[in-house]
Structure formats: C-alpha cells, structure tokens
C-alpha cells in the first residue's frame, strides 16, 4: 500500500484516515527548538466535505488514498444512476444520488464534468463552473424592461430553478454559474 511521510505533506495531497479519503487543505510544521516535531494539518473529508484538524508526529507515515481527478463527459441518467464517460478511453462510470448530490440539477448531456475517482469509483462530481441552459418555464416577460432590476424564477431544462431578469422568455438560453446558482447573462449557443 502506498503511503506518505509527513515530510511529503502539502496542500492537495490525498490521504486515507479512518478508512475515508481526505485531501490536505493546510499543513503546518510545528516544532519547539528542543523537542518533538509535529505536523498540524487541516484536512477535508472528500465524502462529507467536512474540514477537521489532525496532528501527526513528524516522520510518521499515512496511507495514500487512491484518488484521481478526471474529466468526463456526462451521458445520461436512468433515474437511479448518472452515467459518465472518459472521452479518451470511452470507459464508462456510474454515479449514484449520494455522489451526485446537488450537482444533478446542472448536468446537461455531453457537458464535461470533473469526476473524482476513489479506488476507481466516482467519489464526487463537479459540474462545469458555467453552463448554458434553456428556460423551459417562466412567467411572461415584461416587454421593454431591459433594466435588469427585479427578477423572477425560471425553470431550466435540467430542472434547476434560478432567478432571471424579467425580460427573459421561455425558450431562451441563459448562462448560469453552477457554484452560486446565479444567472450571468443571456447565451447564444
């Protein structure tokens, strides 16, 4: 089993703690001039997203987590699983509801997503930061109002509901930031 010693610790390193995969967020070397050296780290649990602090005796080893970040194309969902494909090898992977989480509402077929694999199983899926989606349902627009003041809810083709300006109409394409869920602009393509 691969492992890392504390001297290899740095932000982004993936390690296994109590059976869960973690990524190191911050690593601080703590040592009295005379005395035992420690590495105090902040780590994020890659399953729960929770950040916790851990301390290691410097020189100790920690098991490496087999975690890789890959880019995959979203194919389709069968309602239970969301299916992705590696564009270079055509290998397919299926991610369940707990892995997809809230990101499902942004997934549009053929979009490229960041899929994190742990032991070759999807651990998390990050949709593209910006997506262009069609409005399938919204109240009729107020013609002539292009001020952008005020807004209204609009349902997008993937099921997500976002606040859009009053002038947006059904059938239009809008560009949305998936991290904040905020409308950015109208989109052409």
CA distances from 29 to 10, 15, 32, 40 (A): 11, 17, 10, 6
Minimum CB distance to other proteins smaller for 62 or for 72: 62
Q: Which stretch binds other proteins (CB under 8 A): 29-37, 141-149, 152-160, 176-184?
A: 29-37
Burial code of 151-177, b = ≥16 C-beta within 10 A, e = fewer?
eeebebebebebebbbbbeeebbbebe
CB atoms within 10 A of CB 140: 9
Q: Do 65 and 121 meet the contact criterion of CB atoms below 8 Å apart?
A: no
The dihedrals phi and psi of 151, each to the nearest 5 degrees, come to -170, 180
Which CB, 5 or 185, lies closer to other proteins? 5
Task: State which residue, 29 or 76, has the beta carbon closest to other proteins.
Answer: 29
- Residue tagged 């997500």 (tokens): 160
186 close to 173: Cβ distance less than 8 angstroms? yes
* Binding test (CB under 8 A) with other proteins, winner from 52, 112, 142, 182: 52
Binding range to other proteins, per CB under 8 A, among 46-54, 71-79, 107-115, 163-171: 46-54
Alpha carbons 40 and 34: distance in angstroms, whole number: 18
Q: With CB under 8 A as the rule, give the number of residues binding other proteins.
A: 23
Name the region of 144 (left: φ>0; alpha: ψ -120 to 50; beta: rest): left
Binding piece for other proteins, criterion CB under 8 A, among 27-35, 78-86, 100-108, 167-175: 27-35
Q: Does 37 bind other proteins (CB under 8 A)?
A: yes
Mask of contacts with other proteins, 105-144, x by CB under 8 A?
----------------------------------------
Q: Does 54 bind other proteins (CB under 8 A)?
A: yes
Does position 60 interact with other proteins (CB under 8 A)? The reply is yes
Identified binder of other proteins from the candidate list 8, 45, 58, 73, rule CB under 8 A: 58
Q: Name the residues that contact other proteins, by CB under 8 A.
A: 7, 27-38, 40, 52-60
């Amino acid at each position: 089993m691969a492992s890392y010693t504390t001297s290899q610790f740095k932000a982004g390193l993936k390690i296994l703690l109590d059976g869960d995969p973690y990524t190191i967020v911050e690593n601080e070397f703590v040592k009295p001039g005379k005395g035992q050296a420690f590495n105090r780290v902040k780590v994020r649990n890659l399953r729960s997203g929770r950040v916790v602090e851990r301390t290691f005796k410097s020189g100790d080893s920690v098991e490496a987590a087999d975690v890789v970040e890959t880019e995959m194309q979203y194919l389709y969902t069968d309602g239970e699983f969301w299916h992705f494909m590696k564009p270079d090898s055509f290998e397919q992977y299926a991610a369940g509801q707990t892995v997809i989480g809230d990101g499902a509402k942004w997934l549009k077929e053929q979009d490229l997503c960041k899929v994190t694999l742990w032991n070759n199983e999807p651990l998390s899926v990050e949709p593209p930061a910006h997506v262009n989606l069609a409005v399938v349902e919204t109240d009729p627009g107020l013609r002539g109002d292009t001020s952008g003041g005020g807004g209204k809810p609009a349902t997008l083709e993937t099921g997500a509901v976002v606040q859009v300006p009053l002038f947006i109409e059904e059938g239009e394409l809008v560009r949305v930031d998936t991290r904040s869920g905020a409308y950015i602009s109208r989109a052409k393509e």
